[in-house]
Amino acid sequence: MFHYQYKNQQLVDVERPVRSRSSTLPKSKIDGGELEIVTRPIRSLTLRAGLGLLDATVQEGAVSGGAINVAGHQLPEAPHVSATLSGDWDAFLNDAGRLVLHLDSNYASKQYFELVNENRIAQDPYALLNARVSWHATGDKWEVGLWDNNLTNRFYLTNSYDLQSLGFDYLHRGVPRMFGVDASYHF
């Protein structure tokens, strides 16, 4: 559990016409907590889960030169809920090494990227799924793996700005589906 109380917190405010400046919020707070658990129900399987809860709120403040009151708004890039779930399974084991299957997922609830909390440029709740299969040589001296990130090719934003004064919104997309091969040698 944690509690932060801010006075005169500074954040970037993108105004029309396009310019960014630092805005000072007289009062804001962040309350939250995290829970993580790791379990090994059988020797070859490790499961991990995490949950984060967050209430990041502007208590007093205005943007756009004081024209827009943002009291009660959610702070940028602060989803109320985030969660992770992952597992590693040693699927095959012999004298030469072991085959490990890994799966993980991440979830984030709705989040805003600016203080006005405009739905048009917010990120709705989303989840990502990643997988990896790897061969680990006996003694873990080397390994080789095949991986696939964002298996479902989920479109999500990592940032956005209201640039309607120029006729568009700037949307920064998260990484699309990617896959590859990796190898490691440990010495």
CATH number of domain containing 172: 2.40.170.20
Q: What is the DSSP string of the chain?
A: -EEEEEEEEEEEEEETTTEEEEEEEEEEEEEEEEEEEEEEEETTEEEEEEEEEEEEEEEE-EETTTTEE-TTPBPTT--SEEEEEEEEEEEEEETTEEEEEEEEEEEE--B-SSTT--GGG-B--EEEEEEEEEEEEGGGSEEEEEEEESTT----EEEEEEEGGGTEEEEEEPP--EEEEEEEE--
| Predicted pLDDT at 20 | 64
| Predicted pLDDT at 111 | 97
Across the chain, which has 187 residues, the per-10-residue mean pLDDT values are 93 65 88 98 97 97 85 96 98 95 98 93 97 95 97 96 85 96 94
| Predicted pLDDT at 19 | 62
What Cα–Cα distance (Å) separates residue 135 from each residue in 61, 94, 100, 160, 167? 54, 11, 6, 40, 51
Q: Which residues constitute the domain of residue 92?
A: 2-185
| Predicted pLDDT at 22 | 74
Cα dihedral 177→152→125→47 (10° resolution):
-100
| Predicted pLDDT at 10 | 86
| Predicted pLDDT at 164 | 81
Q: How far apart are CA 21 and CA 19, in angstroms?
A: 7
Number of structural domains found in the chain: 1
User: What single-letter amino acid sits at 66?
Assistant: G
How many Cβ atoms sit within 10 Å of the Cβ of residue 145? 16
pTM strictly above 0.85: yes
| Predicted pLDDT at 16 | 57
